[in-house]
Amino acid sequence: MKIAIVGATGMVGNVILEIIKERNFHFDELFLVASKSSIGRKIDFLNKTYDVIGIEEALLHVPDIAIFSAGGETSLKWAPKFSEIGTTVIDNSSAWRMDNSKKLIIPEINGSSLGAGDKIISNPNCSTIQMLMVLAPIHEKFKIKRVVVSTYQSVTGSGVKALNQLNNEYNGKKGEMAYNYPIHQNVIPHCDDFLPNGYTKEEMKLSNETHKILDSNIKVSATAVRVPVIGGHSESINLTLSNSFEISNIIQLLSNIPGLVLKNDSASLEYPMPLFSKGKDDVFVGRIRKDFSEKNSLNLWVVADNLRKGAATNTIQIAEYLIEKKILN
């Protein structure tokens, strides 16, 4: 089993290596791939020192799986080259997500749709993954009509530059800005680029990816906000369902879903927070309550580490699924 990680020196790439180690993910050969500026850099991993190589060299090794976390342009250019030689690509960028010929996969929800012909597999947006982990079982039983979601997204979703900006501002230092405004002691209602319809790309991802993965009939309205947090993304979600329900039904349903952790005890002040999600693979859900202003509606609060289940963990889970089900050629 030959594995290539494209973007191995980046923030998500580092987390992928952590998860490979934690989950004892099997490989015989590992190729750590990065941009030209990082070629030759040495990375110690699992009692071995690896030399970072360029993507052209990685292609020559014909890996069985290539995990891409190097941005959309790299994925658009190189993922087809890898797929043409028989490599299965799992891509973390937005490059292929809305391509009708590519699967958009959260293993717990639609992993069973994968087949040997899927040579480029797309990893959904981090905010979509954690939201749909909660919505999928609810939709299956009660049929969701409408979703209104507001996100509170960690600076880690913008990469190292944004993390450095927050730390610099916290320490009173001047430095390179990832955002148009200070993020320390501020919230910025702007994630990704604005579109002509007034929404940002991040907001439309929540809508479009929900339609592709879950159900095109679900109405989705999103507002994405950047907050000065490191531990993960949070989401306030309001759902309107087709079928009547009791809150006890929702709680019981969500308490038995692999990958979900219920933190829903207001009497004990137990609810999900990024403070406790950091470094964990689960999606946390709580503050589950009826919306008394609308029929068949409820509110939830969902938190997850965006670098793990929102990115790195989900890609490794896809790889594990491909191997377990013997889908690879």
Q: What is the pLDDT of residues 152-176, one digit of tens each?
A: 999 999 999 999 999 999 999 999 9
Domain 2-123+311-324 belongs in CATH node 3.40.50.720: yes
Q: What is the pLDDT averaged over residues 6-17?
A: 96
Alpha carbon 249 to chain centroid, angstroms: 27
- Give me the CATH topology for the region 127-306: Dihydrodipicolinate Reductase; domain 2 (3.30.360)
pLDDT at 329 over 80: no
pLDDT at 328: 86
- Domain(s) labelled CATH 3.40.50.720 in the chain stretch across 2-123+311-324
- Compute CA distances 310 → 29, 79, 130, 157, 251, whole Å: 26, 21, 7, 9, 23
- Write down the mean pLDDT value for the chain: 97
In angstroms, the CA 222 to CA 195 distance is 13
Q: Which residues pair with 6 in a beta bridge?
A: 33, 68
Q: What is the pLDDT averaged over residues 75-85?
A: 97
- Domain(s) labelled CATH 3.30.360.10 in the chain stretch across 127-306
Smallest CA-to-CA distance from 298 within 248, 233, 259 is with 248
Percent over 90 (pLDDT), the chain: 99
What is the pLDDT confidence band of residue 231, given thresholds at 50, 70 and 90? confident
List pLDDT tens digits, range 186-215: 999 999 999 999 999 999 999 999 999 999
pLDDT at 320: 97
- Compute CA distances 66 → 70, 98, 195, whole Å: 12, 20, 31
Q: Are residues 212 and 198 in contact, defined by beta-carbon separation less than 8 angstroms?
A: no
pTM: 0.96
Q: What is the pLDDT averaged over residues 20-25?
A: 97
By annotation, the residues acting in catalysis are: 126, 233
In angstroms, the CA 181 to CA 179 distance is 5
List, in order, residues 6 or more apart from 198 with CB less than 8 Å away: none
